[in-house]
Amino acid sequence: MSLLLTNLGSLVTNDPAQGSGLLGLVQDAAVVVENGTIAWVGAAAAAPATDEQFDAEGRSLLPGFVDSHAHLVFAGDRTAEFNARMSGQAYTAGGIRTTVAATRAATDAELDANLTRFVNEALRQGTTTIECKSGYGLTVADEARALRIAAAHTPETTYLGAHVVAPEYADDPAGYVDLVTGEMLDACAPHARWVDVFCENGAFDGDQARAILTAGAKRGLIPRVHANQLSYGPGVQLAVELGAASADHCTHLTDADVSALASGDTVATLLPGAEFSTRAPYPDARRLLDAGATVALSTDCNPGSSFTSSMAFCVAVAVREMGMTPDEAVHAATAGGAQALRRTDVGRITVGARADLLLLDAPSHVHLAYRPGVPLTAAVWRGGQREL
Ligand SMILES: [Zn+2]
């Protein structure tokens, strides 16, 4: 069956060879979907005959969002902690340990139901590819089960046993690194594509992060790093040195960090939901883009520091607060995320790509930043299937 999406007011292809600018914009465009992939892209007036047609009535079509950083296997709630932080009270709650305790206590069915809810919530907002990390179990069995549950929803699963040191190992962080690089890795590697580590004061230092990422890589997992979020540190340099797909957060960067990102293949993934939700200064996307780095935008969706699944929200904040143009922000939320996940089949609307598509209830992709907070999803297709 072939489907023609026609009368598109504007089309974001993310292929400069197909249209104007960074986004490869085509006006008055049409797209043909066949067998779950893009079969044809061009001017509506030149579209071939198809079995079915969908009239977009002048609205804008872009690739489904690629959210390359999310923590969605968890239980419990941290409303009180957020409320206290936003009310100016000293933050003394248990933080991540609250979520670890609730996640360990939850059944598989409860965790799966929670994850399903968040994946669907993201889908309704146009996210068709989503990465999902472990990291709220911190035992061999709980980390492996988080990844097993996540793998039923997405191929982009990330082993984050090194989120923080497990409470049982508070006095023996070296022992916990041994566990993360040994028995826990053995149990988790079959369910994961990526290995990640929170490289930060109070979490894991550069040497520990190197040991964890290297051990993961030996098991076939590709590194990505929580780097330079709360302070300057070795995370970004380590990510580039080890050929990580992505260095995530990148909020506190030296000039050497920026140069390393600009000269390597590691994507700088910015997560403005975290700064928004903790009233922290935003990362400087303009500095990274001007240096030539590849930038991705993601939600960091998690119950503690960034409880949003909205990529559109991240686009709007990136434009308002981080020096990105609307085109750059939309590119980062689609093609940038795809590059951070080393995917060439998503984040673009080109012949052969997956038909993961977001139709906006707007004539232009710019409305994602121009109309912040407004639900603009008109329709979503995933693998050519109309989801909503
Ligand atoms: Zn994160």
- What CATH number is associated with residue 370? 2.30.40.10
For residue 227, the CA-to-ligand 1 centroid distance in Å is 10
How much distance in Å is there from the Cα of 102 to the middle of ligand 1?
Answer: 18
CA of residue 68 to ligand 1 center, whole Å: 10
Residues 230 and 126 in one domain: yes
Which of residues 320, 340, 360 is at a domain's end? Answer: 340
Residue 246 and residue 133 in one domain: yes
CA-to-CA distance for 24 and 121, rounded, in angstroms? 28
- Dist. CA 273 → ligand 1 center (Å): 10
Q: What is the DSSP letter of 363?
A: S
CA of 29 to the centre of ligand 1 (A): 37
DSSP string across 194-207: EEEEEESTTSB-HH
Of 323, 340, 357, the domain-final residue: 340
Give the pTM.
0.98
Per the structure block, which two tokens stand in for 98? 């609250």
Write the single-letter amino acid at 221. L
**Do 221 and 363 share a domain, yes or no?**
no
Q: Could you tell me the distance, in angstroms and rounded to a whole number, from the CA of residue 32 to the centre of ligand 1?
A: 36
How far is ligand 1, taken at its centre, from the CA of residue 252, in Å?
Answer: 15
> For the chain, how long is the longest CA-to-CA vector?
69
Name the residue range of residue 295's domain: 65-340
Element spanning 238, H or E? helix 235-241
CATH number at residue 274: 3.20.20.140
Shared-domain flag, residues 94 and 140: yes
267 Cα: distance to centroid of ligand 1 (angstroms): 15
Alpha carbons 151 and 149: distance in angstroms, whole number = 6
Same domain, 116 and 81: yes
What is the full per-residue pLDDT of the chain (388 aa) written as tens digits? 999 999 999 999 999 999 999 999 999 999 999 999 999 999 999 999 999 999 999 999 999 999 999 999 999 999 999 999 999 886 655 688 899 999 999 999 999 999 999 999 999 999 999 999 999 999 999 999 999 999 999 999 999 999 999 999 999 999 999 999 999 999 999 999 999 999 999 999 999 999 999 999 999 999 999 999 999 999 999 999 999 999 999 999 999 999 999 999 999 999 999 999 999 999 999 999 999 999 999 999 999 999 999 999 999 999 999 999 999 999 999 999 999 999 999 999 999 999 999 999 999 999 999 999 999 999 999 999 999 9
How far is residue 192 from each of residues 241, 268, 296, measured CA to CA in Å?
A: 22, 21, 21
For the chain, how many residues are written? 388
Is 249 found in the same domain as 361? no
If one counts the domains in the chain, the total is: 2
Distance 385 CA to ligand 1 centre (A): 30
Distance, in Å, from the CA atom of 314 to the CA atom of 295, rounded to the nearest integer, reads 13
Beta bridge partners of 67: 130
Same domain, 173 and 251: yes
CA dist 138 and 160 (Å) reads 9
Ligand 1 centroid–CA 132 distance in Å is 10
* Residues 75, 50 share a domain: no
What's the confidence (pLDDT) of residue 65?
A: 99
Report which of 229, 282, 293 is spatially closest to residue 255, judged by C-alpha positions: 293
What pLDDT sits at residue 284? 98
Q: Pick from 340, 356, 374: which residue ends a domain?
A: 340
Structure tokens at 77: 């709630």
CA of 156 to the centre of ligand 1 (A): 14
Ligand 1 centroid – CA 209 distance (Å): 15
CA 229–ligand 1 middle distance (angstroms): 9
Which among 70, 120, 104, 76 is positioned nearest to 273, based on CA atoms?
70
Contact 228, 253 (CB under 8 A): yes
> Do 197 and 55 share a structural domain?
no
Measured distance CA(215)–CA(25) in Å, rounded = 43
Distance (Å) from CA 174 to ligand 1 centroid? 22
Distance 362 CA to ligand 1 centre (A): 31
Distance 71 CA to ligand 1 centre (A): 6
Distances (CA, A) of 308 to 6, 49, 110, 273, 276: 32, 41, 20, 7, 10
CB-based contact 226:70 (threshold 8 Å) = no
Residues 355 and 366 in one domain: yes
Pairing of strands 377-382, 385-386: antiparallel
Assess whether 270 and 359 both reside in one domain: no
Residues forming beta bridges with residue 227, ordered by sequence position: 199, 249
Structure tokens, 378? 């008109």
Same-domain status, 333 and 271 = yes
The CA-based angle 341-278-164, given to 5 degrees, is 60
